[in-house]
Copies of this chain bind each other. A is one copy, B any other.
Amino acid sequence: MRLTAKFLGLEAGGKSVVVLNKEDAEELGVPTLGRVKVRSNGKEVTAIINTTTALIDVGVIGLYDEVRRSLDIKEGDVLDVEIAPSPTSVYFIRNKLRGRKLTYEEILEIIKDTVKGNLSEIEIAAFVTALHSFGLDLDEATSLSIAMVETGNTLKLGRHPILDKHSIGGVPGDKTTLLVVPIIAACGLTIPKSSSRAITSAAGTADRAEVLMPVSLNLEEMGEVVEKTNGCIIWGGSLYLAPADDIFVRIEHPLSIDPLLLPSIMSKKKAVGAELLVVDIPCGRGTKVKTIGEADLLAKDFIELGRRLDIKVQCAVTYGEQPIGYAVGPALEAREALSTLMGKAVVPDLVDKATDIAGILLNMSGRRNGKELAVEVLKSGRAERKLREVIEAQGGDPEVNPSDIRVGDRRFTARSDRDGYVLWIDNSSLVEVARLAGAPKDKGAGVLLHKKIGDRVKEGEPLFTVYAEKSVKLQRALDALEERMFLRTGDRMEMLIHEVKERPVTKKAFMLER
């Protein structure tokens, strides 16, 4: 069939999509979301069909931008359009939908087509949902990890060993990486850290680091920083490591499911060449992993998957029932991390966690007494100096001081209405308040705790301060706070947690951080 090109002026998120009149689609014998081959001047694209009854006339084909660019044509050109079969990967997805285990070849096909934009959102959603429902075993997780590495960029450094750390996420205020990277690099070891931005949290490591230095470097620049300083903190999204994962995340997020946790993390580590890896598994109420038993099972899988990918993995199961340190939100956290490195702030849990993780890495790479070494490197100021080197190499200001970091000037401080103790902090409600205040988009927005769990508090004492850059967002955050306070003070013997008066809607907190 020959159809006249009309440009829609819209992007389809990387997918090849065309719009046909329903009449033409029926004539071709292709259903909505079926596929056609579109040809012009020897170029050819396979595209997914959307149909319409009104806005594209019979005889016309509406082109999204991706198809327009691949074909290199003018509006009004006449194109050859014919029915195309579904890519083979669709049959493999259907196999998973029937509960079958997938082979490496099948998974590679699916991942390739995902990256090339050959699969519709429905097909990818079904794949992700089937992985979630039927589960994936370690063979499949291995295949997925390798296939995701194969279809993206890889960092090649002429150094060994390559160290790395990763947190599965879920705890607010976790700025551990900002301390671990300089500690390790200061010890002369190589740690090319790629990190992510917040998805459902108030700040990702890339968001925090960006307050101190540029993080959107490409792979070549990343390599140069590491050659110069032994370490780096770069936003992974600019590196095109395991790009299939970025597509899966867009589907997983609205569904609040995360079946690709293991391959997602491990593929990104493999892509930077990691050989020794510590995976931090925050544990407890208000995190992804509620119990230590669960955490140990997950750790076992990380270690075994690492073995199959030639990465030596150790896991750190850490306490996650409240934020790490006091600050939540990109600028507040960057300030807290920098102050801690400079010895200007006392943040015991942050220092303990960072030196624990750095210590494990140091032990894995053959140093003795890793934890003590890490503490010493931190206390001596060598870690601070290393961070400033990294900041400079990435293009930031190496002289930056905590007081230079701008935080939101619209503020509200909550005070205790009684004497007592901080009984609990609800991570997800705290994050919601920080996000409503503007984090992570407004870097200066967030929450600064003045008290943490177990702290004694007097009536009138400040509990925490909400920071925002815009009054309207501060108000939004305070409205949410009104409804659901994230920090509870009281006597240690109060037994009633809350009353349930009608059938509640189970809005479960979901953390999708990698």
Residues of A within 8 A of B (CB): 8-11, 13, 19, 26-27, 29, 31-34, 50, 52-55, 62, 65, 86, 88, 90-91, 93-95, 97, 99, 120-123, 125-126, 128-130, 132-134, 199, 250-251, 253-257, 435-436, 438, 441, 505-508
Contacts and interface: CB of A to CB of B under 8 A. Distances in A.
Contacts of A94: 255-257, 508
Given A26-B441, A129-B130, A133-B130, A254 B33 contact: yes
A99 B133 contact: yes
A413 B219 CA distance: 62
A140 to B, nearest CB: 15
Which residue of A10, A53, A255, A438 has the most chain B CB atoms within 10 A of its CB atom?
A255
Nearest to A473: B29
B88 A55 contact: no
Contacts of A251: 122
Given A86-B254, A95-B506, A130-B133, 12 more contacts: A13-B50, A27-B441, A31-B254, A33-B250, A88-B505, A94-B255, A94-B257, A94-B508, A97-B255, A97-B256, A126-B257, A133-B134
B11 A52 contact: yes
A247 to B, nearest CB: 11
A254 B134 contact: no
Count of this chain's copies in the oligomeric assembly = 2
Contacts of A121: 121-122, 125
3 smallest CB-CB distances across A and B, nearest first, come from: A133-B133, A125-B125, A129-B129
20 contacts: A9-B55, A10-B19, A10-B62, A11-B52, A11-B53, A29-B441, A33-B250, A33-B253, A91-B506, A94-B508, A95-B506, A97-B132, A99-B133, A122-B255, A125-B126, A126-B129, A126-B257, A129-B130, A129-B133, A133-B134
A254 B55 contact: no
Contacts of A506: 91, 95
A122 B254 contact: yes
Contacts of A91: 505-508
A299 B251 CA distance: 37
Contacts of A62: 10
Contacts of A120: 254
Contacts of A257: 94, 97, 126
Contacts of A99: 133
Nearest to A82: B476
A129 B65 CA distance: 30
B134 A129 contact: no
A95 B503 CA distance: 15
A122 B123 contact: no
A29 B10 CA distance: 22
A86 B256 CA distance: 12
Given A10-B55, A55-B9, A55-B65, A255 B123 contact: yes
Contacts of A508: 91, 94
A255 B96 CA distance: 11
A255 B122 CA distance: 8
